């Protein structure tokens, strides 16, 4: 039996999408080998949920943030003597450690994402994470921080980059170009950014993009910034836009369907997310897969995905002047931007497909089970 512990599955967001991808691959892996699986989510609504990722379908139980019921369900699963326990966040590592009190014969894999391991985790999370058999990282930066900040031995740390979502890949194969969403600007040089605009995620740099736009407009008068996403920090960003003096060049879109979001990628000219703390950056894959040049922060896991000067440009977080220069260099030279976009699409097709992720994770699961005591 394979047991999976997840923070959240159904909401939008990179961690949630990564969780769905791992669950889909692990469920397929289990079924093909005649193993049962039991997946538990802490945050999602109470009850049984069915999710499809590409051709893979799986079920999981939500626990509506009920810590005691979630922990009890995990301990009950441990009582069924699983072969493997997978946890999709370091904060779940203590529950994995508690499960070992009921069954010591399973091996464990904990997935890290990025910012949450930039500082040493206190007890019991740090100790529980170090007791895991393997800790996964999506980027070199996260892998190094697991070693340096969390004091995890290097032989326990493995790197496996995330892949593009199968539904996104299917949209790319469609012959008809997607229609622009009605709210999307027409006939402009469009800079797109996508994120969750919450106070805890101000590190993504949406405010820096707004600050950089007046300088961009001086050289590229039809430049427009489109911010896709929602959250409690959106009113602050909207206020910054009003204070910028060029509010008519800044558009906020939220509540979009996946089809509408895909269309935004397809119809933008440049994608930018000058973040200082991306563990990986799935949004960069989505933009690059649409042959768009990208601008990211020269920090965290972003340099793993974005090749500076090849598929896009990297700038230091908060450097408004350099961000403006980078945006102008791509908007004012469409041929150069198109070349970067083409190289970005090739990079995604070579390194970041869901099929490649599925193959890598399946090999890892096989290896872990073979080593099971």
DSSP class of residue 178?
Answer: P
The predicted-structure confidence for 111-157, as pLDDT tens digits, reads as follows 999 999 999 999 999 999 999 999 999 999 999 999 999 999 999 99
Name the helix (H) or strand (E) containing 367.
Answer: helix 354-370
Angle between helices 334-351 and 320-331 (to 10 degrees): 100
The answer to whether residues 80 and 125 belong to one domain is yes
The answer to whether residues 158 and 244 belong to one domain is no
Angle between helices 258-267 and 166-173 (to 10 degrees): 60
The answer to whether residues 121 and 231 belong to one domain is no
How many whole angstroms separate alpha carbon 227 and alpha carbon 237? 10
The answer to whether residues 158 and 212 belong to one domain is no
* pLDDT for residue 177: 78
The answer to whether residues 253 and 205 belong to one domain is yes
pTM of the model: 0.94
Quickly tell me which residue has 């379908």 as its tokens: 57
* pLDDT for residue 12: 85
The answer to whether residues 194 and 325 belong to one domain is yes
- Domain span holding position 219: 167-351
* pLDDT for residue 372: 61
Work out how many domains the chain is built from and give that number: 2
The answer to whether residues 281 and 337 belong to one domain is yes
The answer to whether residues 301 and 338 belong to one domain is yes
Q: Are 172 and 290 in contact (CB under 8 A)?
A: yes
* pLDDT for residue 5: 98
Q: Are 161 and 354 in contact (CB under 8 A)?
A: no
Q: Are 292 and 315 in contact (CB under 8 A)?
A: no
How many whole angstroms separate alpha carbon 126 and alpha carbon 120? 7
Report whether pLDDT(373) > 80: no
The answer to whether residues 171 and 144 belong to one domain is no
Which range is least confidently modeled, 73-87, 88-102, 162-176?
Answer: 162-176
The predicted-structure confidence for 256-294, as pLDDT tens digits, reads as follows 998 999 999 999 999 999 999 899 999 999 999 999 999
Q: Are 89 and 113 in contact (CB under 8 A)?
A: yes
* pLDDT for residue 285: 96
């Amino acid at each position: 039996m394979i047991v999976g512990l997840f923070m959240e599955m159904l909401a939008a967001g990179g961690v949630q999408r990564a969780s769905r991808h791992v669950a889909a691959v692990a469920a397929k892996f289990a079924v093909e080998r005649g193993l049962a699986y039991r997946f538990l989510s802490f945050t999602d609504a109470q009850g049984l949920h069915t999710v499809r990722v590409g051709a893979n379908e799986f079920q999981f139980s939500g626990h509506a943030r009920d810590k005691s019921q979630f922990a009890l369900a995990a301990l009950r699963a441990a009582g069924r003597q699983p072969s493997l326990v997978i946890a999709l966040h370091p904060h779940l590592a203590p529950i994995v450690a508690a499960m070992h009190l009921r069954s010591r014969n399973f091996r464990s894999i904990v997935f890290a994402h990025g910012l949450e391991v930039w500082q040493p985790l206190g007890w019991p999370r740090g100790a529980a994470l170090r007791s895991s058999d393997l800790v996964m990282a999506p980027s070199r930066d996260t892998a190094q921080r697991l070693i340096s900040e969390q004091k995890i031995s290097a032989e326990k740390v493995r790197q496996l980059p995330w892949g593009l979502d199968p539904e996104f890949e299917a949209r790319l194969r469609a012959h008809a170009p997607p229609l622009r969403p009605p709210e999307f600007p027409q006939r402009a040089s469009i800079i797109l950014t996508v994120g969750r605009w919450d106070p805890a995620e101000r590190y993504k740099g949406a405010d820096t993009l707004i600050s950089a736009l007046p300088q961009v407009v001086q050289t590229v008068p039809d430049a427009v910034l489109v911010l896709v996403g929602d959250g409690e920090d959106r009113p602050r960003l909207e206020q910054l836009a009003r204070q910028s003096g060029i509010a008519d060049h800044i558009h906020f879109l939220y509540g979009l369907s996946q089809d509408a979001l895909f269309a935004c990628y397809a119809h933008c000219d440049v994608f930018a997310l000058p973040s200082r703390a991306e563990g990986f950056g799935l949004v960069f894959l989505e933009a690059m897969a649409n042959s768009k040049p990208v601008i990211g922060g020269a920090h965290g896991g972003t340099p793993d995905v974005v090749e500076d000067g090849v598929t896009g440009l990297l700038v230091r977080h908060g450097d408004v002047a350099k961000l403006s220069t980078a945006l102008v260099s791509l908007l004012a030279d469409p041929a150069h931007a198109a070349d970067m976009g083409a190289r970005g699409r090739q990079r995604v097709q070579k390194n970041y497909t869901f099929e490649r992720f599925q193959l890598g994770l399946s090999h890892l699961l096989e290896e872990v089970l073979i080593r099971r005591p």
